[in-house]
C-alpha cells in the first residue's frame, strides 16, 4: 500500500470538501496531528475511523486504500488487487511475528541456562544464588509469554486431516495444547478430528 499516495488523496478530497485538517479531525473525534500524519503518508487511518473518514470525504474504503477515485468499470479489478495486497501484508506481518518470537526466545533461553549453570558452579548456595535464579526465571517466563503471544497473534492453523485452515486465538486453549515447534495439537472445527495442526502464514 502506498501511504504517500493515500495521504495525498485524503488531502485532495479534504480540500475538495473545503474543510481544514482541524475541521476534519473534529468531525472524526481525533487530533489534527493524526490527520496531518495521514496526509503526509506517515500512518494509515485506524480501521474504526476509516468508514467515518470515507463518509465525510464521499469516497469508499476501496478508493481510500488505493489512493484514487475508481471508475466503476475498474472496480472489480481494483478490489481484487486490494484484497491480494491485504493478504500479502497479513502474511508478511505473520512471518515477522514468528521471526521475532524465535529471535527473542532462543537467545534468552540459552542465556538463562548458561547463567544458571555458571552461577551455581561459581557461587555457594545462599541468598545471592537464589536471587539470581529467581530473577532470571521471572525474566525467562516474561520472555516466553511474550513469544507465546507473538505465536498466538501470527497466522492460522491447518488441519492435517481435511486441510481446513482455521484461526485459534484462545490463549488458554493453546497454552494447554501439546506442541512441536509452532504446530499444536488441536481439534479441527470443520471435520472435528484432532491432529497436530500446522501453523500457516496465510489463509
Strand 165-166 and strand 183-187: the pairing is unpaired
Residue 38 in grid coordinates: 495521514
Give which of 158, 196, 163 is closest to 180, Cα–Cα.
196
Residue 123 as a binder of Zn ion (CB under 5 A): the answer is no
Q: How far is the CB of 124 from Zn ion (least distance, A)?
A: 56
Closer CB to Zn ion, residue 11 or residue 197?
A: 197
In the set 5, 161, 173, 203, which binds Zn ion (CB under 5 A)? 161
For residues 39 and 31, is the Cβ–Cβ distance under 8 A? Answer: no
Q: Going along the chain, which residue ranges are E strands?
A: 156-158, 165-166, 179-180, 183-187, 194-200
Residue 99 as a binder of Zn ion (CB under 5 A): the answer is no
Closer CB to Zn ion, residue 43 or residue 170?
A: 170
Closer CB to Zn ion, residue 14 or residue 198?
A: 198
For residues 57 and 21, is the Cβ–Cβ distance under 8 A? Answer: no
Residue 191 as a binder of Zn ion (CB under 5 A): the answer is yes
Number of residues that bind Zn ion (CB under 5 A): 7
Residue 159 as a binder of Zn ion (CB under 5 A): the answer is yes
For residues 157 and 190, is the Cβ–Cβ distance under 8 A? Answer: no
* Cα gap 78→101, rounded to integer Å: 35
Residue 188 as a binder of Zn ion (CB under 5 A): the answer is yes
Closer CB to Zn ion, residue 17 or residue 161?
A: 161
Q: How far is the CB of 55 from Zn ion (least distance, A)?
A: 41
* Cα gap 38→19, rounded to integer Å: 15
In the set 164, 179, 194, 199, which binds Zn ion (CB under 5 A)? 164
Residue 162 as a binder of Zn ion (CB under 5 A): the answer is yes
- For binding to Zn ion (CB under 5 A), which residues are involved? 159, 161-162, 164, 188, 190-191
Amino acid at each position: 500500500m502506498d501511504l504517500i499516495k493515500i495521504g495525498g488523496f485524503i488531502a485532495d478530497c479534504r480540500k475538495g470538501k473545503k474543510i481544514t485538517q482541524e475541521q476534519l479531525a473534529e468531525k472524526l473525534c481525533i487530533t489534527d496531528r493524526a490527520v496531518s500524519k495521514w496526509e503526509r503518508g506517515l500512518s494509515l487511518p485506524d480501521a474504526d475511523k476509516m468508514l467515518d473518514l470515507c463518509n465525510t470525504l464521499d469516497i469508499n474504503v476501496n478508493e481510500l486504500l488505493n489512493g484514487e477515485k475508481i471508475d466503476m468499470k475498474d472496480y472489480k479489478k481494483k478490489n481484487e488487487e486490494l484484497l491480494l495486497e491485504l493478504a500479502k501484508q497479513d502474511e508478511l506481518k505473520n512471518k515477522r511475528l514468528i521471526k521475532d518470537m524465535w529471535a527473542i526466545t532462543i537467545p534468552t533461553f540459552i542465556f538463562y541456562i548458561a547463567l544458571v549453570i555458571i552461577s551455581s558452579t561459581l557461587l555457594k548456595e545462599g541468598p545471592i544464588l537464589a536471587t539470581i535464579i529467581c530473577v532470571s526465571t521471572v525474566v525467562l517466563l516474561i520472555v516466553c509469554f511474550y513469544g507465546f503471544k507473538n505465536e498466538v497473534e501470527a497466522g492460522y492453523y491447518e488441519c492435517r486431516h481435511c486441510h481446513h485452515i482455521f484461526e485459534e486465538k484462545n490463549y488458554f486453549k493453546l497454552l494447554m495444547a501439546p506442541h512441536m515447534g509452532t504446530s499444536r495439537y488441536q481439534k479441527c472445527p470443520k471435520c472435528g478430528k484432532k491432529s497436530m495442526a500446522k501453523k500457516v502464514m496465510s489463509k
